Structure 1
Amino acid sequence: MTFNQKEKEKGLVRALITAFEGLEEVPKKADIEARAMQLAPLLGYDGDLRVAVEEAMIAIDTWMGAGVSLVDNEAYHDEEWVYKRDIEWTYSDAYEGYLKNEKWQPSLVQKLSDVGSKILGQLQDPTSEGSWNRRGLVIGHVQSGKTANYMGVIAKAADAGYKFIIVIAGIHNNLRKQTQERIDEGFIGRSSDPENRVAIGVGRNRDYPYPATLTNINEDFSKNTAAKSGWKINDFGKPIILVIKKNVRTLEALHNWLKELNAQGDGRISDVPMLLIDDEADNASINTNKEDISPTRTNAMIRRILGLFAKSCYVGYTATPFANIFINPDAYDDDARDELFPRDFIYSLDAPNTYFGPEKVFLDEDFSPDVLEDITDCEDYLPFSHKKVDTVVELPPSLYKALDQFIVARTIRNLRGHSSKHCSMMINVSRFVSIQQEVRNFISIRERRIREAVKANYMMPEEVSSRNQYMAALRYVFESEYSGCGFEWDQIKASLIGVFDNLRIFVVNSKSDEVLDFKKYERDGVGLTAIAIGGLSLSRGLTIEGLTVSYMYRNTRMYDTLMQMGRWFGYRPGFEDLCRVHLSEDSINWYSHIANASEELREQIRRMRRDGMSPKQFGLYVQSHPDRLLITAANKMRTGEKVVFNQNFTGTIKECTLLPVDSKVNTENETLIQEFWRSGFGRNTIETRKGWFIPDVDIDRISAFVTQFKVHAASDSLRSSVLDYLHAISERFPLGDVLLISKGDGNSSEFRLGAQQRSAKDAKARGWQLSRYRLASRGDEKLGLSDEQIAQAYEVAENDRNSKGKEPSDFHYRIVRNKPLLMIHILEPKETALEELRGQRVPAFGVSFPNGLFDTEIEVVANRVWVEQMYGSFDDDPDTEDDYDE
């Protein structure tokens, strides 16, 4: 498809969106197809209508909530200043028009604008007198449109009077370049490519008041580039924007330039309101040093730049806010000044309903089994722990299978009319550049052999082509993975050859001279078929267009690092069913755990907003969240240092998910369950659809059961913490509930629970680790609630836009129960290779805690051994990656 044809297709989609805008009900596909057939000849479009109809349908049915904010109510700030001033929204209107031209639905653009106005309202009015600085944080979702949001905020801030805007865009050149290109289109209005300074995006309107910039797609900020421009920031009638890399040298250069050329006699810039947007704010911006020594260099330089301005606002953007909330809100350094803690506001964005995110990929019981694939064979080829001098002898069969999936999926996308759209595969198996290059060599060889096989066989009879091993592998993938895609194998086979026309293999890291430049191919009217091989560069912020198949074998349990590796999150219009994500079982388990934790964190923001709590109170809660160790402790634990943490279990569930395989221990635990059921938990037993419920049990009896239950040695720390917390809340909650979860042959008269079957295929002699680190099934916490409580849970969920129309989550049920809950299970292992585990009944328990216990904490002393028992190792340290460029 030529560039002109693509523009005509975009025009048709815009026309279809406009034609159906404002209807109360979503139009049927047949109605959109009929209108498309009418409009296409009028707009001069004679291409395939399927993609235009599909994109219009998705846009028309896309909506987004307004999100929710926590603000410091004690600080004097009027967030209504945005609406009280008479502001001419030149840049903002141009940006919104640009989005509509890019096929965004008008109502979605309006929602984005409304949210942008709310965030702008949390900044200071730039016309305010005197000195001021504000600190805020915006929490988005991985690959969900954070850039679109902060570009809208930038445009509004420029209209309101912010004159100097800095965007810190990650730690890698390719991410900085990608961000510069987007800001060129959405705000600057000209390509910053020195060799092609043409009007683009918002700048196609001749009356557009182009902002100035001191950076371009090729050059980060430096003193030389600033000197060549001859500009000083207070010379500008229009705003100036810089897009810089989060690099100490770059930050130092900017700080020195500002101080030498633009500062007044007192060393501060008094007459220029400044906005600093810190993208991926959890990465490198955080001060990880102890409070009694100087801040880390990157953190200190950001603070020093802010300190040069008498009027400044700092807004961090991240999808993984855990580290940001751990910043000490009261920390101050005489040189670096105020810390970056978001003391003034935290804004949690809602993702659009079409977002393909962690909840869908890892928590959706209907969708997850289709998209997730467990890597079981990589350890023999590319083990988790390897060195850059190691030699790659061969790649695992599962990676070659993923390549076959990608080729078949691209073929299906072409048949669906997506040939002009990008389609990508991501391979992330090593942090070392040398290993990445070796992987590329093997993939190149394999791709060439498949291409030659397809070329020789795609027109041959099946009895001939099926004898070729590569063709047979492609057919196997189609029949096992994609047979419901709407096409038959003979159609797929005949179209395979088209995949290789624009297939390119890239190694993406800071030392590679290969550029994964989707824009270049778009300008040529080509849909790129890309295989991207890399490490950290693929894990932070870089958008991989049309990502369809992902293969990641990495060993990290740091929340933020792991979530940022999830490049597969985003939007998959028209090919969501084709996406495949290959991960180790351990990673699948941790992603599921993190997805739950992230959703609960967002839910707490909404709850705390309703209770009028401040960012500082939320920060104190997250600082004592039991999983904070995954973010803050790694750099300390490597030195063997013991760290004292306060932990808070409010609104969480703690479960023993690493279970003993000793039959004697398990038999004793089942006897303990029977004894407590018979005499310890009380006689008021109520039957449920899944076992029995015993209400209002003395909390001391629950504690006694937990104390006597024999847990796996690695779970002893968890049990101790649960007991400490039950004791800490016992005055407020003297009674709790007990759920005896039972399926199948349970018998209350014999005090015997029916066993729940669980896969134990990865169980080892040292213990049975439950899949996804979950013991209870979703919805178990609903058991035993009254009809009134269940109705209340539905009401709580309905008031939350993200839960609207869905079943309440366990968190919602936890809120309405409002007391501790002990859940007891018997598991029956299946699919296990462990002889001693077969036929066993394995007891386990979990305790969930009510919400609202923000002021209740317990103290934990942790060292590396404790952390590795609780969370696993920290062997894969992102800051030691070979492609990390500081």
Structure 2
Amino acid sequence: MHTAGVTSLKTNGTFFPPLIQKNNYKTEEIQVMQNTVSKLLDTSTTSKKPGMLLGHIQSGKTRSFLGSMGLGFDNGFDVVIILTKNSNALVKQTFERVESEFTECIEEDELAIYDIMKMPVKLRKFELKKKLVIVLKKEKKNMQRLERLLFDMYPDLTARKMLFIDDEADFASVAYDNVKDKNIIDLKVIAGQIDQIRARLENAAYLQVTATPYSLYLQPDDMTTHEHKAFQPKRPAFTELVPVHDKYVGGEMYFEKSKEEAHMASYLYHEIQEEELEILRKSDKRKVKVNHLLHGERYEGIRSALIHFIVGSKIRNIQQQKEGERLEKYAFIMHTITTKAAHQWQEEVMLHMEEQLRDAMEKEDPIFDQVIRTAYQDFARSQRKDMYFPAFDEVLSDVRDALIEEELLIEIVNSEQDVDHLLDKSGELKLRTPLNFFIGGQILDRGITIKNLIGFYYGRNPQKFQQDTVLQHSRMYGARPLADMAVTRFYTTRRIYDVMEQMHEFDTELRRAFESGANSGEVTFIQKDSDNTILPCNPNKILLSSVQMLKPGKRMLPSGFQTIAKSYLEREMKKIDKHVATMKQTAKAIHPKDDRCFLVEKEKVQNLLEMIYQTYVFKEGYEWDLETFGAVMNYLSEDTDTNRKGHVWVVLRQNRNMARIRKSTGRFEDAPDTKQDELKIAQNLARIIPSLILIRQNGAEEQGWRGGAFYWPVLVTPEETKTTVFAGKGVKER
């Protein structure tokens, strides 16, 4: 078969056809594999300028690179070196996956696969003539072993055509200045070792496989001081995009569909409090009253997580039984901190909670029925209409049986030494019982596959992690049946959820810019300096948890706030109403068809926003970053050469009655604007400068407010906005 402009490939060889038959690859997947191998054969690739196989997190990248590997064997490659993340468990999983995929070729003595830590002392010529796969984790000593293997023990291998596959690549080929993080320092050393090995090889190619390519695409080739604000994604020698399969669940479900009223995704997220995370991070029996775990408000999040997990699993088992399907085992991950002492404390808390749940059941304490019913009713709201949903008594009976038969296993997963105990024959995390509650450590960071995940309790500090790490930690993404999603719940603080939502948006927009060629394939990086000057920003130093991703038509607004006391609010609103009236009277332009839309100087709008800010009270995790909000508005209003420069369209609406909290989900309202009215108008006006929707809410007490009117602003970015990463809170130093 021939692809235009690239090498013609042999597709009917020994290795590739069995993979197609075994995996039922789709046409678009095969095309990506063919393109990848063709480009590896035609293009010079190195760890600094690799070929790139780019997919989504947990979206089938391994499937794609194994197919590419098999096709590569049929087209001249003899040796494949697979570099995994620094995890024994991931090495084992990768080894067993390759062994499973190429079983026939191994049995026919066409291929041999080795874990570099378990290789035979002396390979014979017969063995060396086979196609070879060597799996090793990216660790300094392992790289030294590889160097000895290739150049000292079996130097004949260096003349054979070799392919390095860097799986779950992240920092490995990025050069950082002033690095302080030990892990990044180690990765720099490893990248150097890879380069040294490759430089001594006669014929080697380099392929990176990742879902988080920012460390590559966002780096300019010149790592010196940057004078320009736009960086072209040009470091990879080529990029092939892994097709997303139809069962994939990613950020769209958690952060976009979740905003749709009554959509099953709108019930996924359950907020937990920062105080609860602190309680679970360090053993303190003065703060944790083990006899109050089923009642205490301080443990509401983790209690809900455990009980929802049990109830959701039983609902799915009942549904499977009714459909004549096999009853699945299910998993839950709790990941808040890496220390073993914290994991032991969390295990102790969860075991106490299980014990109290069982005691309440045996004593027929009403609290047992109450907590099970609460979870059941929550799942009833998120059920698919085409699915059978069991009666409460049936679910309650199965939950009782599960507790009596000890179907719940609460297990710590943080020991590399216990990897053989932790993984099943396929290299996935072993599900020993019907209900597996895993308390996670480092091993859960590293891409280990876990089947049938329907619960996530996440509490790692996103301020300290890169984007790829945070999203991988929570293990939220991957192949998920929609029936399982109906009983899936995600627990984290609002602060972390907002960070992850920003990261999802960051990911989506960078992919869109890359795939579509938007902005000529460029992404703009800017920051606000201390004197309010907008400056170019080095993408190396951006703290990803503090960025705003600007794109055409984006809405920015405060949410989760309460108004100040009514008596004070009424006094402030008189000033604000007067300011709004003055803005309209002195407006540069009034919309000809709607006099509630008027064009004003950005300084007047900024003054208005500061006045509105004084009428709000904020709950922790819901603060409104007015400084960034204003800086973004200022930047967007100035980013034009037209006579609209320095102005903002204001779209005024009054006499609205939006509730503070949505009844359907219990979440704070974040859409006070009406799509077919003011939002549509604001988006039409915001062509080259931003619009500010200004909604005057009546603020009735029955709507959850304090009985006084207030203004709710929504900023809408212009249609001509280029994909921009705005580091409103500055940058971090490495």
TM-score band by shorter chain is 0.7 to 0.9
- Aligned pair 1:508/2:508, yes or no? no
- In 1, Cα distance between equivalents of 2:550 and 2:638: 12
* Equivalent residue for 1:581, pick from 490, 493, 497: 490
Say which SS state the counterpart of residue 354 (structure 2) adopts: helix
- In 2, Cα distance between equivalents of 1:527 and 1:680: 68
Partner of 1:123: 40
Partner of 1:289: 177
Cα distance, 1:528–1:151 mapped onto 2, change above 3 Å: farther
Per-residue CA distance 1:256-285 (angstroms, 9 max, x = gap): 433434568xxxx86333322222222565
The letter of the residue matching 2:83 is I
- In 2, Cα distance between equivalents of 1:760 and 1:502: 36
Say which SS state the counterpart of residue 738 (structure 1) adopts: strand
Per-residue CA distance 1:259-318 (angstroms, 9 max, x = gap): 434568xxxx86333322222222565433359x99832332333333333433333222
* Matched-pair contact (CA < 8 Å) for 1:823–1:847: yes
Cα distance, 1:203–1:636 mapped onto 2, change above 3 Å: closer
* Matched-pair contact (CA < 8 Å) for 2:416–2:443: no
5 Å-filtered alignment, 1:531-542, equals 531-542=437-448
Task: Report the CA distance between 1:773 and its aligned residue.
Answer: 8.6
Cα distance, 1:428–1:853 mapped onto 2, change above 3 Å: closer
5 Å-filtered alignment, 1:726-737, equals 726-731=637-642
Partner of 1:96: 20
- In 1, Cα distance between equivalents of 2:100 and 2:643: 57
Task: Report the CA distance between 1:530 and its aligned residue.
Answer: 1.5
- In 1, Cα distance between equivalents of 2:433 and 2:346: 24
Partner of 1:66: none
Long gaps (5+) in structure 1: 1-77, 101-107, 190-201, 216-220, 333-339, 457-464, 638-644, 747-753, 762-769, 786-812, 868-878, 880-886
* Matched-pair contact (CA < 8 Å) for 1:725–1:858: no
* Matched-pair contact (CA < 8 Å) for 1:282–1:321: yes
* Matched-pair contact (CA < 8 Å) for 2:411–2:437: yes
| TM-score (structure 1 length as normaliser) | 0.64
- In 2, Cα distance between equivalents of 1:409 and 1:327: 44
- In 2, Cα distance between equivalents of 1:131 and 1:585: 41
* Matched-pair contact (CA < 8 Å) for 2:83–2:167: yes
- In 2, Cα distance between equivalents of 1:388 and 1:757: 40
* Matched-pair contact (CA < 8 Å) for 1:372–1:582: yes
5 Å-filtered alignment, 1:417-428, equals 417=321, 419-428=326-335
Task: Report the CA distance between 1:81 and its aligned residue.
Answer: 6.3
* Equivalent residue for 1:783, pick from 675, 680, 689: 680
Partner of 2:268: 371
Per-residue CA distance 1:521-572 (angstroms, 9 max, x = gap): 9999977531111134323312221001222223314432321223122222
Task: Report the CA distance between 1:178 and its aligned residue.
Answer: 1.8
Task: Report the CA distance between 1:723 and its aligned residue.
Answer: 2.3
* Equivalent residue for 1:487, pick from 379, 390, 409: 390
5 Å-filtered alignment, 1:264-413, equals 271-283=159-171, 286-290=174-178, 296-330=188-222, 342-364=235-257, 365=260, 366-376=263-273, 379-380=275-276, 382-383=278-279, 393=288, 396-413=299-316
Cα distance, 1:114–1:832 mapped onto 2, change above 3 Å: farther
Say which SS state the counterpart of residue 296 (structure 1) adopts: helix
Task: Report the CA distance between 1:847 and its aligned residue.
Answer: 4.4
Partner of 2:227: none
* Matched-pair contact (CA < 8 Å) for 1:656–1:775: no
Per-residue CA distance 1:217-267 (angstroms, 9 max, x = gap): xxxx24xx45614369x9844332122222232223323433434568xxx
* Matched-pair contact (CA < 8 Å) for 2:660–2:669: no
* Matched-pair contact (CA < 8 Å) for 2:29–2:243: no
Cα distance, 1:132–1:710 mapped onto 2, change above 3 Å: closer
- Aligned pair 1:168/2:83, yes or no? yes
* Equivalent residue for 1:821, pick from 679, 690, 695: 690
- Aligned pair 1:676/2:559, yes or no? no
Long gaps (5+) in structure 2: 225-232, 294-298, 529-534, 614-623
Partner of 2:145: 253
Say which SS state the counterpart of residue 301 (structure 1) adopts: helix
The letter of the residue matching 1:168 is L
Per-residue CA distance 1:720-756 (angstroms, 9 max, x = gap): 35424533433597598735163xx45xxxxxxx465
The letter of the residue matching 2:22 is Y
* Matched-pair contact (CA < 8 Å) for 1:79–1:122: no
Task: Report the CA distance between 1:489 and its aligned residue.
Answer: 2.4
5 Å-filtered alignment, 1:839-850, equals 839-850=708-719
% identity of equivalent residues: 18
- Aligned pair 1:655/2:572, yes or no? no
* Matched-pair contact (CA < 8 Å) for 1:408–1:474: yes
* Matched-pair contact (CA < 8 Å) for 2:542–2:727: no
* Equivalent residue for 1:184, pick from 85, 95, 99: 99
Task: Report the CA distance between 1:780 and its aligned residue.
Answer: 8.0
The letter of the residue matching 1:549 is G
The letter of the residue matching 2:242 is L
- In 1, Cα distance between equivalents of 2:377 and 2:562: 40
Task: Report the CA distance between 1:434 and its aligned residue.
Answer: 1.0
Per-residue CA distance 1:401-455 (angstroms, 9 max, x = gap): 221111122222222236543310111122222111121122234335545766x
* Matched-pair contact (CA < 8 Å) for 2:650–2:692: yes
* Equivalent residue for 1:474, pick from 365, 372, 376: 372
* Matched-pair contact (CA < 8 Å) for 1:550–1:581: yes
After TM superposition, the structure 1 stretch with the greater mean CA deviation from structure 2, 502-511 or 436-445, is 502-511
Partner of 1:884: none
Say which SS state the counterpart of residue 486 (structure 1) adopts: coil
Task: Report the CA distance between 1:173 and its aligned residue.
Answer: 1.9
* Equivalent residue for 1:444, pick from 344, 347, 351: 351
| TM-score (structure 2 length as normaliser) | 0.76
Cα distance, 1:586–1:527 mapped onto 2, change above 3 Å: same
Cα distance, 1:524–1:625 mapped onto 2, change above 3 Å: closer
* Equivalent residue for 2:341, pick from 422, 434, 442: 434
- Root mean square deviation of aligned Cα: 4.8
* Matched-pair contact (CA < 8 Å) for 1:132–1:312: no
Per-residue CA distance 1:33-78 (angstroms, 9 max, x = gap): xxxxxxxxxxxxxxxxxxxxxxxxxxxxxxxxxxxxxxxxxxxxx9
- In 2, Cα distance between equivalents of 1:480 and 1:716: 38
5 Å-filtered alignment, 1:574-723, equals 574-608=483-517, 613=520, 617-618=521-522, 621=523, 632-633=540-541, 649=550, 651=552, 653=554, 655=556, 657=558, 663=569, 668-687=575-594, 701-711=600-610, 714-720=625-631, 722-723=633-634
- In 2, Cα distance between equivalents of 1:452 and 1:179: 43
- In 1, Cα distance between equivalents of 2:272 and 2:47: 52
* Matched-pair contact (CA < 8 Å) for 1:829–1:837: no
- In 1, Cα distance between equivalents of 2:574 and 2:198: 63
Say which SS state the counterpart of residue 249 (structure 2) adopts: coil
The letter of the residue matching 2:440 is G
Cα distance, 1:98–1:398 mapped onto 2, change above 3 Å: same
Cα distance, 1:684–1:92 mapped onto 2, change above 3 Å: same
- In 2, Cα distance between equivalents of 1:89 and 1:693: 67
Partner of 2:480: 572
Cα distance, 1:438–1:591 mapped onto 2, change above 3 Å: same
